[in-house]
Every structure is written in structure tokens, then in C-alpha cells.
Structure 1
Amino acid sequence: MQANKHLYLFLFLLVFTTITVVAQEDPIVPLPIKAIKDTITAPLLPMSMAKDSISVDSATIDSTSGKKQLLLGKIKYKAKDYVKLSQKDKKIYLYNEAEIYYQDTELKAGIIIMDYIKNEVYAGRIKDSTGTYSQLPNFKQGDQVVIPDSIRFNFDTQKALIWNSRTEQSAGLGALGGQDAMKVLAEVTKKENDSVYFLKNGRLTTSKDTVDPDYYIKIRKAKFVPGKKIIAGFSNFYLVDVPTPIALPFAYFPLTTGRTAGLIFPTFGNDPNRGYFLQNGGYYLPINDNVDITLLGDFFTNGSYGFRTQSTYIKRYKYRGNVNFRFENQITSQKGFDDFSRSTLYNLQISHSQDAKANPNSRFSASVNLGSSQYFTNSFNQINVQNNQNNNLSSSISYSKTFPNYPSVNMSLTATHNQNTRTQQVNLTLPTLSASMERIFPFAKRDGIKKGLIQNVNFQYNLRAENRIATTDTLFFTKRMFEDAKIGARHTLPISTNFKVAKYFSVTVGGNYEDVWAFETFERGVDPDNPDSNTEVVLDTIAGFDRYNRYGLSASIGTTLYGTFNFGEDKKIQAIRHVIRPQVGWGYTPSSEQFYDTYEDNDGELVQYSRFEGTLNGAPSLTQSNSMTFSLQNTLEAKVRDKDSTATEAKKVSILKNLNFSTAYNFQADSLKLSPIAMNGATSLFDNKMSINFAGTLDPYTIDNNGTRINTLNVKNGGSLLRFTTGRIDVSYSLTSAIFGKDKEDVDEAKAVSDEYRATSGGSTDDLFGFGLDNRASNDRKAEEDIENPLYGNKLPWDLSMRFGMSYNNTNRQDEINRANLMFSGNVSLSPRWDVRVSSGYDFINNGFAQTQLGFRRNLKSFDLRFDWVPFGSNENWFFFIGISSSLLQDLKWENRSQR
């Protein structure tokens, strides 16, 4: 305040002195003082002051006008070249990089003129010698920014007139998860107050280039509320400055950030079997910050309809999930025609997960996917086409509870569902109760170290009770689905101990007791109404509790052997390490003859059976088991010199991740005592880019002419030591163009395909089995700044995924390959704006292609163009789409598709 008083006093003296000099009539007598050039030239301020921020006291009252100033704060201003104060015009002129600050208002421009009587500012551009304008005004008030050609603003009323304004409004969620921006341009803008603007001859676009946008919506008059909405009169769509027939008498553009309720624009089309239709139109409603719901519908002129609801909910640090329900009422042709048909399809998906921090001792989770078996194959909505090769639907709902006090007990209640969409068989457990008590060491301290045979003795208790239902798709959710329900329980009590022998051998000895409960048993016999029949039938179903028990003993001994072959540190392969884990086991289970009965057939022969046959857990074994088991596990890895010369240590490379063999010898069997040798293994090659899994069966016995195994070793029958009966191999391989480039680390950053609905539906999350025809999220738009160049150089980005599977069968000397197929998918970018992808496969046994899809993507800056095509097969179809990329105007689109 004191500095301002001195400033005003200085200006007053300067003006008064000037008036006095002009009014002096007497001649001026020069004084004998050496003249020194004055550094102050009126009315300019000293350059040192001009370059500083000068504050104007808002409490100052102009004495010449008598008007009380309404400024509520200080005005600060500065400029690069000069600040000119004009007493005659009552204005301050700021030139070149001029800036003014007042409360939450900032104004920057090439030139600014401030009228300190009216409290108004005028800002505009400056023009250089070539006639080019620069330093456009930048007007910022709060969070709102406007960049016009010129502006007039009043500090008192907060009103403004803006010419050729440009502003950007962020709203909604973009295709890549971020916010999209709407650019608002207008020839004349009137700022009424802080929250309302009126536009004349405006343009709306999401194009990056606002000077020459590739499209815009022209509005004649509009009301603009920043951050909320634009309400416009007559509006029409311009494409490259060419008007189109797309127009509306009035329009509403929401600009709110976050989630807001609103209509979802449908897709129009024509189905030859159902008539004209509207698809995927509806309403989005955010109920609160934790829950939202989306309602979508399909309507056909022949009466077919469908609807979908999707709700997502989340509570931070508690739980999250979603619920999807889809229903279709399908009518083919017209009522009264021979080909008229009607069917209903549905699909329900529920996903719920609990945060681990919510309750460490209690947890609830759900993953449900059930519905009509033909839903994905017959759905008229093509967003479901990508799941039409899914043959299985499965669900699981579980609640688990832990009682932490010693001994701790874990309990869980689970309901499961499994549905084969080809056979339409449905299996459910409603529910399954599981309980287990933690392992108890009765001869050792709880916190102490357990050593030796006695201290390592431990036992555990487990319970599993089930209500299992097997039904079909047509009987699902009817009373008849419960007719063949099976209920049972099983209690197990394993006891074991382990100890070391000769320092290097680990020995485990134990036993297992099992008590099986059934609530329904069956008596068998010959049907008295048909005595000539030898068919076994259930004569009586006995309801009520029944049980049997069984036990077994087991022992095993194993060790680990290491073998290292060193070749020298100067070699490329410095060493190979082989790890072998052999194990020999023994198991004994007595027979359970006491739980078997007999009946006499028509030939007078006695037939043994168990009343527990056909129950949930089946019948106990009639024969005694006394067998030895043998297993051998192998891993093989190499130590190779690293290609990186700066590396100080060699690199470990896996040659065989595992190679396992197992067999058994049954002492109690009358023949064929040696079981076939089972083999399986896995490895990876080319820096883990290729994975290989294989398995096979080797049989030591030969077969007769009927293909039946006989008690004769194959080698004694003139064959090899072991007969290779079955085998399979699966190979997966992925390649990208980055592998052959210099930046190898880019391979790990390859694009990942994300389709939550497809994964929840049980489908594959990669493109090997097809991709969605109508999935906007699958179009991974590149950023505008990354696609400025129209062409790549000498390298085209690409990726390729392949999966090969083959099975071999020789159980009856068929010597045949019964499965051999190759699935592949790939993507290639022909240019920064052109992407092509393909998904297909070939069956070498049946000599036919799997579902083949071709996809084309074209980035048209503000637009996306897509064409997806299934050229042949039962799902032959195509889909074409062109529309605005931004989620703000994603309903401005045109699409067309064939019908399946």
C-alpha cells in the first residue's frame, strides 16, 4: 500500500510539473548545472518497473470519475517490451508477452489494453513483419481455459466478449481408459458469468487439429456450461468442411466427467428372417458411487426381442463384482408360415471377489456362467459370435471360514455347475461341504523342531459331503432335475511320519482310514416280471442312512541325485546339470467282501454285487490290493556363456523342465501285474518363446488278435521291450517383429488382448480361436502423435501365435494319428494407420479349416474404420463399421453386417 502511495504521488508530481511548465509565461533562465539526459520519458514507466509485476490497490478511488472501484483484489500485470500508462485515455498498454492476474483469472496475450476506469481489459494477437499472427490470448478462469483471437473482459461484472474462441472440455472415459476431450470453437462467445457462455456459429469436434478438423458439428446458437453440457439449436454434421444430411433441430452434448446417466444409441439394420431391427440400444444408470447398471435391448419387426442387463459394483477394500443377464426371444419367419419357429435363450454371468483385507478368516467368491446350451451358437446378437466355439459352461459359488484357534479348522460350502453345450448334459453340486483340521503332531512341541520317526508322527481330519445332480439342459430349473440326486459324505483320517535313512534317503510311512456315508442304497436281482431276461435291474431302492469303511497302508522311499558335466568356462556350453529323483512306494488295501451280497441269475449262478453300487462315492473294492509303485523325475539344464560381454555370470538355460516316468506292480493280480509305464514331460526353447508338452504310454505286454492285452511280455512275442500305445504332443510358439530388432525388451511389452466377457464366458482370451466382430475395446487405437508418418520405414510391426497339437493311438496296432491340428493368429501393421489380423486353423485329419476370421483396421485420425470377415463355415458373416473414435461422440457411426 505504501509503495502504491509513492507511485501515485510520483505520477501526480509528474503531471503537475508538466502543467506548470506549459503555463509559465516568463522566459526560462538556464541554471549553471550540467545537463544530464533524463532516463524517464513520460508517460512511460521506467523499464525496471515495466518488467516487474505492478499491483494496483483495489481500494483506490478515481477522483476524476467519482466511481467507486469494485475490484476485490489486486491486479498484477507485466509485459516484455513495455508497459505504457496513458493518463489521457485512462488506460494501460502492455505489449509482447503481456500478462494480467486478478484473483482466479489469468490473461496472457501479445497485446493487452486495460481500462482502469471501467475495469475492463482488451487482449489480442500481435502481427510480425511477415503478417503472421502470434501470441494468441490465453484466458484462464479457474479450471476453464479459452484461447481466442481477441477478448474483452470486465473485472466488475465478470462478463466477456470472445472472438474466435477455442476451448477444450474433458469428459467421459475414452476407448483406452482415459478421458476424451471435446474441442469447442465459436466465432463469437458471450460469457454471461462463471458458468454460462453463449455461442454463435460454433463448431464441436474431437479432432486433434482444431484449425482444420477432419470433421465437426456446426451449431448456430448454443448455451455452453463448462464441464456440464452444451445445448444447441439447429446442428448438422460437416465432414472435411462439407455439409452432410446428418442434422438435428436441436442437440444436447453432455460434458460431465465421470459416470453420468444417459441413453445408449442403438444400431439399425435389416435381418432377412426377422425384419428391420434396433440392436444394443438402451440406458446407462449410475445408481451411486459403488453401483451402476446398463440396460440394453434388441427389437425386430417380426416380434423377436432381446434384452441385456449388466451391473458392476465395487466397495473399496471390501469386494467387487458384476452381474450380466442376457435373454433372447427368437422368432423366425412369420406366424402362419411353415418355417415359423419360436425359441428362448438366456445366459447368466455373475462374478464376485472379496478383498483379502476385508476379512482374513472369512471369504465369499462367485463365478457363474450358465444358461441355454445354444445361446452362443444361436444368438442373433453378433457380439456373442466370438464365443460360439465354447463347448463348456462352468460355475462356482463358495463361502469359506477359518477358525484360527489351535487346532485350526477350515470349512467351505461350495455350489458348482458344469454344462456341456454339445451334449447338453448338466452336472451340479448343491452344495459341497468341505472341512479340514490342521495337521497335529502329538509327540512334538508346537513351536519346536521335529526330528526323527516319533516326533514327525502326524494326523489330520477331512470331511467332504456332496449333493450331486446330473440332468439335462431341458430339465434345468425344473422339479425333475432333483429326481436322480445323489447325497453322500466321506470322512478321511490320514496318519503319517517321515524320517531320514542313511542321511540321503527320505522315508515316509503312513496309513489312511476312510468312512463313507450313503443316504440311499440299492438291492439288485432278476426282474420277477421278466424271468427269462438276464438283465440286472434295481428291484428296490432303500432310503436311509448306510455306511462302509476302508483303510490302507502306504510307505515310500526316495532320494535326489545330482550329476554335473563340466566342459570348461571358455566353452559356449560350460556345464550340464542333471537332477534325478527316484522314488519307490508300497500300498496295501484289504478287500471289502463284507459289503457285498449275492443274487441268483436265471442260470443258477451267484452274482456278487454291493448295495453301494450307484451311490455317490461308489462301492468299496472287492479285491485286495498290494502293489509297488515306481516313479522317476528328471530335470536337465545347461550353463551357457551369456551373449552380453558385460555379464559376470553364466546364464542358466532349461533343457528339460521335467521328464517323468511312473508304473506299478500289483502282487495280488493273477495276471498283467505290471502296469503300463506313463511318461510326460515339458520343455521350452528359443528363450521360452516355444513351449512343448508331451505325454505317452508304454505297455510291456502284448495283445492278441482281438486287441486284448494278454499276460505275455511284448519282447517275448517278437516285439520290442515296450509297446508305444498312446502319445500326444502340444507345441505353442509366439513370434513378434521385436525379436529380430535391436530392442529385445520390447517383446515383453507386446499388446495383450483383454476381453473380460469372453474370458468369463469360458472362451479363450487370445485370438487363436477367433476374435469378436463387434468389440470396440479390441481396437487398440494408437496415439495420434505416434501415427503422424503415413508409412513405416523398412520394418513392419507384426506378431504371430501358433499352437500345434497331435495325438497318436496304437492300443490295438492301429498305428494312427487321431488328432493333428494347427491353430494360428497374427497381426501386422501395414502402416501406422493400417492393421490387419487373421485367426484360423487347420485340421490335418479331417482336412478342413477351423473358423477363419480376417480383420482390417484403419485409423482415420478422428475416425475408426473396421471390417471383420468370416469367409466360410457355419458362421460365415461380415461386419463393417466406421465411426468417431472418441467415446463422447461414439454414436455418430455407420455399420452394416450380414446375418449368420
Structure 2
Amino acid sequence: MSKLLKINVKSALGIAVGASLLILTFYAQATSGTGRGFYRFFSGSDTIPLQKTDTPRRILLKSDVGRNDTSSRKDSTSRRDSLVSKVDSVLISSDSLDAIIRSHAEDSGVLVVDKNQFYLYGKAKTEQKDLSLEAATIHYNNETNIVMAYGKTDTTGSIESKPQANQGDLQTRSDTIAINLKTGKGRSQNTFLQQGEIFVNARYIKNINREEAFAQDARFTTCNLDTPHFAFRTKKMKIINNKLGVTGRVYPEVESVPIPMVFLPFGIFPLNPARHSGVLLPSFTSSEDFGLGLEGLGYYKVFGEHVDATTRANIYSYGGWNLNVNSKYIVRYKYTGNLNVSFQNTKSLSRNITAKDEFTSTRSYMINWSHSRDSRARPGTSFSANVNFGSTKYNETLLNNPFQNFQNQLSSSINYTKDFNGKFNLSMNINHSQNSVNRLVNLSLPTFNLNMVTMYPFQKADQVGTGKWYEKIGIGYSGNFINQVSFYDTAFNFRRLLDTLQYGAQHNVPITLSLPSLGPITLTPNVSYEERWFGQKNLRRWNDSTKRVDTFTTKGFYTQRQMSFGMGVATRIFGTYTFGPKSNVIAIRHEMRPNFSINYHPDFVAKSFYNLRVDTSGRTYRVSQYDGNVIGSFSEGIFGGISFGLDNLLEMKVKDKNADTTLKGKPADKKVKLIEGFGFSSAYNFLADSFQLQPFNLYARTTLFEKLNISAAANLDPYDVDSLGNRVNRILWDPRHFKIGRITSGNIALSTSFSSKSKDGKDDKNKQLPIDPFMTPDEQQRQMQFVRANPAEFTDFNIPWTVSLSYSLSFSRVLKPDYSGYTTETSSGLTFNGDFSLTPKWKVGATGSYDVTNRSLQQLSTFISREMHCWQLSININPIGLYRSFNISFSPKSGILRDLKINRTRSFLSEN
């Protein structure tokens, strides 16, 4: 015992001695046992290695155990340790450790000088590079390069703590740990290992080097409980760090009950946290119309750091198939994009008993491309694309996707903008729209927009003081050039395509003058010149022989011009009504924003209008010969009159009963908006010979009780109509019968949502599905579509119930195609979404839409979900739609085991 030196870490001598020996110490893990078999495994020799006499090398001393002071170093050099030769450095052999180790112990450190061993007691902790080791006791033997770590038991014999080792996202906890820092060999007992979502428990783990290890009696799971709900058992397992785990015969266990009858001869478990290429496993499905099938069979391929590709295929027994190739590319701080190409060969069982063919076949395709460039890549320019182009039948024949089955409109846009020193801005756009109902395709190839920032030509270069009034005259410019092609995808022909080519241009030159405010009144004079170019002229004439209107088109270059002059006046008026001190309502505030303007524009386009006979009775309409172009014609007639409008805001201030604070002795209050905005706008033309009063545009919007959002708008025509619905020059005004004009169009929208308080008390109002910031908008859209199509897999059990409703109604009076009169077109729809918990672990919900106008349920998706901690049972049912289907899925929540699931899918083609 005389050769043992037990010191307190807090003493100066202990600090120096511990620091001197720490440079010789350990890399990572340790365990118990010091027999010859133990050393034979770690060192590869049958004998315990002796002290080495290699030529020493010098490294700097650095440790958290003690300070590096001169007195302590002198004390250590007085002993017979031949490794130390200088006061300011430590000499060690060339085969020692390659990095400095930092250590700490709450109790003490013990140094055995003759045996070259070091001990740390009491919550010992060491760190080297990215590896840290924590244990009750840590022992390092410099002769054998073996480090050992032990746990601690309490007075009753129960385990109080276990050694823990952490390296990156790899975490281990064992009864004992031992490792040879030089060879990397090691052994641990009763080890719990975690890497990412994976949990491995093994009775013994032997490391043969720093990258590979063998486990005996191992259990593999993604459940984070001490006694997991499920696991995979195996007698032996090989682990390759950050790559994979390979097992022998493996069988599952549920609630610690083994199921040996269900086993696999071997298992391969991925352990690579980085992205890598691999096979994507499919799911099984069954459909009366498509047969048996495999969906999602594919392969993920990484093409380097910036590009990857995912290929998936659906295969059905009746001969149908679907192939999808999706590639994502990204270069940080430059651009990101996504290209998705899908080919679909639909072969379904024919429902028509009179059909000659047993199957109905349809081929379709879809191309989606999105691209965005980082604004920092090339300041002053931007390029973005969002292309969705394909067959009009693609969405309709897509299986098990009720949301896309009802998507009848496709649109695309490619945009490039360029800024010229902040004075001009140029943008070029290519747009596409496609309707799957009438199968009409419109292409704009391309559209140019040029805008000039307002210039002040009379303003001096070196402005001093307040300028003259004419120096505030500003001139701007905006113009666009449009090319458009329209065709039906069922009758595509290049010659017909050229016949439908149209072009047009529009130029606008506004002239403004900034005048100083006259107190609360603001004056804004304006002058504007506008010119429009057309590529064709459309002349329509009544044909007495066919009893219809014929159209004759003449190609060429045609122009229209228009000018306007005006002076605008605007102000704001406030009014407040204050209640008594006993009232909960403090005050009601009304803000009015009236606007008034005098405008004049001459009639430069009268020669473009003519009377068109539309029926045998001789009725006529005023039409323009430029109607039907991509840019519409100017309105006919001279205007000299006034335009007026009024916008209102109504809010009140109430006492806040829930507030606990006061301000300067006054009770806290809060503002409540009663009506966020309501008003009207119209005009009166003094120079018109009839219909001087223009229609009134009415609007209102508000949020009631912070829950119900309401917005409404209407168009009020002040003139009466005849028996055929044509306007007559007679004001409709009869207050006794509540007839004040005619509502010719309008719309109203209401939406609300309710939810219960979360179980954990946290505010989940802004909780959303996490989205990768580097995902393209097209990827985000497809992700949201997947969530809507599979709501049971994204259920939030923290909120017991949620309900959201929205309703919209719109109507308008339109002229019939045969000019025989007017008809009212109405559309009304209701959408709903909600879920509620039957029990804390069971939840049901539904989402859908109801067409109020046609009194039919357009779409309905319901789900049932069961929370099972590390597993989830989800049932999705779509009883309404083109394809009625249901899906039952029982799968782990862990993303690494997403393909380990039981899935059952059936779909049926609707009879209607």
C-alpha cells in the first residue's frame, strides 16, 4: 500500500500528478476483469504486456483534472518515472494516444506510479475528440492501453448508475465497458445502444476494431421504452458502424412475448444516418377494376451531393401500370428544383355490359417541374418555374387519390425578371392553363412586361429646399406584350394551332403630380394615356338564312387609344362614443375614409363599335370589333363626371377580464373589431345621354368572436330592366316595396374552426406539418396532398377534437349564348373537416365537400386511427368519389421501419 498514492483532486499536488499522467490516458470505454483471457482478447497476446522502452516523443500537457504549475511538475519528476524529462513538457512513447483527453471527477483520482495506472472516482467523465465517457469509476492501464468503466450500486444492491458512452448520435449504456485504445478491441456487458431512431440491447458486445462489432443475444427495436412493445430477437448480430446490422435467424416479439413461429433466416437493418441509394418496398393493393397490384415499388438513387432520383412503379394484374420518376436537385445559395415525370397506362374492367371490349384502356402522362433561384446568386435577376402539363385524363384515372380526381384545372408559369439599375424592370412569362372538363388548352408564349419607375423630368439634379410645384410632376410607363395559342387536346393540329395564334400589347403612361396636403385633405391630380394593339379584328353579322350570328376574322395590326384626366380628394373622419365607467364596453370607434374624384376621358373608340342584330325580332347589341382578343377593347362613350366611395371601420374597446396587469392605475383593456371594413363605390357620368349613374360595388368583411370569418361583395345596378332582362334608362327606386336597384352579382364566404384545449396545455394553434426549407413548392404541394389523402397517419392525439367549416355562395346574371335573354348562374358549396377522440388512444375524423347547388356530396374521406406508442393503426375510407376505396395500415412510426407494415387496400369504381 506504500506504493499507492491516494490524493484529493482539489489539492495542488493531485492536480499536478493527475495532469501529468492524464496525457497517457484513455480513448473511450472500459469493463471489469483482468485475467489472462481478458488481456488475450484485447492485446492479441497470451501474456500481459510489459512496459515499453520505445524512443519517447514530446506532447503538450492539457487536462481538466489539475492545473499545469511548475511546483507540481517538479514533484512528479522527483519520482522514478523515466518518461518525464522536462518541466514544461511530458515525453511519452511513440505508440501512445493521438489526442488530448479532458477528464473530471467529483470525488478523487488515484495514481499508481509503478504500475502506470490511473483511477477516477465519483461521477467521472472523460472526453476525447467527439467521444465522451461517463461512469462511477474509470480505470486506465497505460501498460496495456486498456480503459475500463464501472457503474455504481446503492446500499440495497440496486443499480444506481451505469457507464455511458456517447459518440455523435451513437449512445450506449452498459453494466461494464472495456476497450483497448490502441487496437480498438473492446467488450461490454448488457449494453443498450441508440443511434438515431434505433435501439439495440445485447447481453454481450465485442468490438473487433473501431468500425465493427459482434453482439450476442441482441434485441433490435425502435420503441424507446425500457421494456419495448415490440422487438426483433436474434442470437448473433454483426454491427458495422454507420452502415448496417446483419443478423442470423431473427424472430419478432410483442410485449416481451416471442413469436418463434414467425421468423426470417436473416435480417439486414440499415444504420446509415446519411442518405444512400436503395430499394423502395411496395405495398399490396386490390381493386375490382384494376385487379391485384403492387404500389410504390421503386429505387432511390443518389447521383452525388446535388442530385438524386426516385423511381416508383405501380403494377396491376389486369395489365395497367404507372411509372413515376422524381428527381430533386439543389445547390445551396444558387438554385433548387424538382422534376417529376409520370406515365400511366390504365386498364380497368369495363362496367358497360354492352361494350365489345372487356377492358377499357387509357394512356396519359404528367410532367411537373419546379425551379427557383436564390436571390443571392445573381442580384437584380430572378428565374422561377412551376410547370404542370399533361393529359387531361391523368387526374381522373389516378387510383386512390380522391383529391386529384376532382382537380380539373392545370396551370403553369415560367418567370424571368431583370432589374436595370432600379430604373426599369423587365419580366418575361410563359403561362399555361388547361381544363380537363372542356379539354381546352391556353398557352401564352411568352408575355413581356416592362415597367419604368416614375421619373421627375423637371426636378433639378441638386435639389435645395422646397422645389417648385412643376418639379413634382412624375411620368411613368408600364407595358406588356402577349402571345396566346388556344387549342383542344382532342383535335390538335399544327395548322389549326397557327390559326388560333393571337397577340396583343398594352401601353400605359401615367402622369402624376404630388401636391402638399391641405390639412386633413389630400389632393392627387393625374393624367393617363393608354394604347392597345390588336392582332385581329372580329366582325359579327346576322345571317338571315341560318338564323344565327356569323363571325369573320381578319388578321392584321390594329390600335385603340384612350386618355383620361382626373383630380382625387381623400380624407379620414373619426368618431368615438364613450360609455359609462360601470360598462364593460369602454368606447366604440367609427372611422370613415371617403374618397372623391373628378374624371374626364374623351371617346376615342366610337368607330370600333357597331350595332349587332342577334335575333329575328331585330334586337341589337352594341359590340366592338376587337371583342375576343387577348386584350379587351376600351369601353365606348365619353365620360365626364365624378367617382365616389366610402370605406368604414368599426371597432370597440372593452375591459379585459382575463388581464392581470394595469397601466397607471387604469384597468387593462383590449380592442375588438366589429366590422373590419364595409363600404361602396360608384360613379356618375354627366356627359352620357343615358345610364349616367354607374353600378354600385358593395363589400363587407369582418371576424366575429375571433372565430367566424365573413366576407361578402355584391354589384348593385340602379336601373330597371324590360321583360327580356335588358336594361332600360329608368332608375329602380321604390322604398315602399324595398326595391332599390337590382343585385346582378354577388358572393359571400364564411369560415370557422374550433378545437379543444391540448392535453399538455401547450398552444397548438400554429402547429403545422414540418416542411423541409429546401423542398420545392411542388414537393410541398404533393406532401400536403398525401397528408390530406392519408389523414389517419398524421393524427394529433394531443388535441381531443377539432372542427373546421367553410361555406361559399356566388351568383351572377349572364347573357345567354343565343342572346335570347339573361340567366342567373349560381354555385354554392360547403367544405368540412374534423376529428374527435373516442378514447385517449382512438380517434375518428372526416373531411369532404358538399355541393349545395346540386344537392350532392362531391367528396368524402373518413379515417380511424389508433395510437400505439411506437406503432400506429390507421384506416382510411373514401366512400364517395370516382374511385371508392379503403385502406388499412398497421406500421411502426419510425421512418427507418416504414416499409415494415401490414397494408390492405381495396378500391371500386363508382357506378355513377
Q: TM class, shorter-chain normalised?
A: 0.7 to 0.9
Encode CA deviations 1:788-811: one digit per residue, 9 max, x unaligned: xxxxxxxx6332212133457799
Q: Secondary structure at the match of 2:52?
A: coil
CA 1:194–1:58 in structure 2 vs 1: closer, same or farther (change >3 Å)? same
Q: Does 1:657 align with 2:673?
A: no
1:635 matches 2:649? yes
Are residues 472 and 320 of structure 1, via their aligned partners in 2, closer, same or farther at CA, if it must alter by over 3 Å?
Answer: same
**1:222 corresponds to 2:237:** yes
**Aligned match of 1:551:** 563
- Residues 397-423 of structure 1 show CA distances to partners (whole Å, capped at 9, x for unaligned) of 110111116xx1111100112223333
**Is residue 2:408 matched to residue 1:391?**
yes
Structure 2 residue 436 is the aligned partner of structure 1 residue 421: yes
Q: Does 1:159 align with 2:172?
A: no
Q: Which moved more, 1:552-561 or 1:134-143?
A: 134-143
Residues 537 and 626, structure 2, Cα contact 8 Å, conserved in 1: yes
Distance (Å, rounded) in 1 between the aligned partners of 2:113 and 2:379: 77
1:886 equivalent to 2:894? Answer yes
| Corresponding residue to 1:261 among 262, 277, 285 | 277
Task: Report how many residues are paired.
Answer: 820
Q: Is the 8 A contact 2:858 2:880 kept in 1?
A: no
Q: Which runs of 5+ in 1 are unaligned?
A: 1-10, 16-42, 171-180, 788-795
Shift of 1:600: 12
Q: Tell me whether 517-526 or 307-316 shows the greater mean CA deviation.
A: 517-526
Identify the range of structure 1 (879-888 vs 108-117) with the bigger mean alpha-carbon deviation: 108-117
Secondary structure, counterpart of 1:587 in structure 2: strand
Aligned pair 1:722/2:736, yes or no?
Answer: no
Give the 3 Å change call, closer, same or farther, for CA 86–876 of structure 1 in structure 2: same
Say if 2:337 and 2:776, in contact at 8 Å, map to a contact too: no
| Residue 592 (structure 1) aligns with | 605
Aligned counterpart, 2:807: 804
The answer on whether the counterparts of 1:44 and 1:83 sit within 8 Å (CA) in structure 2 is no
Q: Give the structure-2-normalised TM-score.
A: 0.78
Aligned mates of 2:510, 2:117 — CA distance in 1:
95
Match of 1:402 in 2: 419
1:762 to 1:675, Cα distance in 2 relative to 1, 3 A: farther
Paired position in structure 2 for 1:178: none
2:41 maps to which residue?
none
1:866, distance to aligned residue in structure 2 (A): 0.9
For 1:459 and 1:94, the matched residues in 2 are separated by: 85
1:252 to 268, 272, 279: 268
Matched-pair contact (CA < 8 Å) for 1:637–1:655: yes
Change in CA separation of 1:517 and 1:810 when aligned onto 2, cut-off 3 Å? closer
1:354-407 residue CA offsets vs partner (Å, 9 max, x unmatched): 323333311111222232333333202x2x3333333322221110111116xx
Aligned to 2:321: 305
Aligned-pair distance for 1:719? 3.7
Q: What pairs with 1:662-701 in structure 2 (closer than 5 Å)?
A: 662-686=681-705, 688-701=706-719
How much identity, in percent, do the aligned residues show? 27
Please give the per-residue CA displacement for 1:489-528, whole angstroms capped at 9, x wherever unaligned. 222222233536864443333333233223344566788x
C-alpha separation between the residues in 2 aligned to 1:535 and 1:98? Answer: 98
Does the alignment pair 1:359 with 2:378?
yes
Offset at 1:895? 0.9
Q: Equivalent residues in 2 for 1:299-698 (5 A)?
A: 299-333=315-349, 338-380=357-399, 382=400, 384-404=401-421, 408-445=423-460, 454-475=470-491, 480-499=496-515, 503-521=519-537, 532-533=545-546, 535-538=548-551, 542-567=554-579, 571-585=583-597, 586-595=599-608, 612-621=626-635, 623-643=637-657, 644-648=659-663, 650-686=669-705, 688-698=706-716
> Could you tell me which residue of structure 1 aligns to residue 90 of structure 2?
none
Quick check: 408-417 or 569-578, which moved more?
569-578
Aligned in 2, Cα 1:106/1:843: closer, same or farther, shift over 3 Å?
Answer: closer
Q: Report how far residue 192 of structure 1 moved.
A: 0.8
1:841 is displaced (CA, Å) by 4.4
Gaps (5+ residues) in structure 2? 26-46, 54-92, 816-820
Contact 1:387 1:758 in 2 (8 A): no
CA distance in 2, matches of 1:296, 1:537: 52
The one-letter amino acid paired with 1:671 is S
Matches within 5 A, 1:156-195: 156-170=182-196, 181-195=197-211
- Decide whether aligned partners of structure 1 residues 327 and 772 sit closer, same or farther in structure 2, where only a CA change above 3 A counts: farther
**Could you tell me whether the CA contact under 8 Å between 1:560 and 1:582 is conserved in 2?**
yes
State the one-letter code of the partner of 1:654: K
Structure 1 position 753, deviation (Å): 8.5
Structure 1 residue 136 and structure 2 residue 162: aligned? yes
The Cα of 1:280 is off from its aligned counterpart by 1.0
2-structure distance, mates of 1:678, 1:64: 97
Question: Quick one: which of 212, 218, 221 aligns to 2:227?
Answer: 212
TM value normalised by structure 1: 0.79
Once superposed, what is the RMSD of the aligned Cα atoms? 4.6
Deviates more, 1:593-602 or 1:634-643: 593-602
Q: Distance in 2 between matches of 1:504 and 1:387?
A: 54
Change (3 A) 1:815 1:188: same
- Residue 459 of structure 1 aligns to a residue in which SS? strand
Whether the 8 Å contact between 1:345 and 1:375 is mirrored in structure 2 is yes
* AA in 2 matched with 1:183: F
Alpha-carbon shift at residue 314 of structure 1 (Å): 2.5
SS of the aligned residue for 2:907 comes to coil
Q: Which amino acid counterpart does residue 873 of structure 2 have in structure 1?
A: L
- Summarize deviations over 1:182-230 as a string: whole Å, max 9, x none: 1222233221111111223322211102x42222223343321222222
Q: Is the 8 A contact 2:814 2:825 kept in 1?
A: no
CA drift at 1:838: 2.1
Report the AA paired with residue 871 of structure 1. Answer: P
Pair 1:45–1:395, CA change in 2 (3 A)? same
Rate the CA distance shift 1:417–1:628 in 2: closer, same or farther, 3 A.
Answer: same
Q: What is the deviation of 1:659?
A: 1.0
SS of alignment partner, residue 892 of structure 1: coil
Other structure's SS at 1:746 match: coil
> Residue 873 of structure 2 corresponds to which residue in structure 1?
865
- Is the partner of 1:308 in helix, strand or coil? strand
CA-to-aligned-CA distance 1:587-641 (integer Å, 9 cap, x gap)? 32314344569999999x9999865454433445554444432212212222333
Contact 2:50 2:143 in 1 (8 A): no
Alignment of 1:767-846 (within 5 A): 772-774=788-790, 779=794, 797-807=800-810, 818=826, 820-846=828-854
CA contact (8 A) 2:834 2:846 kept: yes
Note closer, same or farther for the CA distance 1:622–1:715 as it changes in structure 2 (3 Å cut). Answer: closer
Offset from partner CA, 1:752-776 (integer Å, 9 cap, x none): 6879999849989999xx9633479
* C-alpha contact 1:80 1:96 (8 A) present in aligned 2: yes
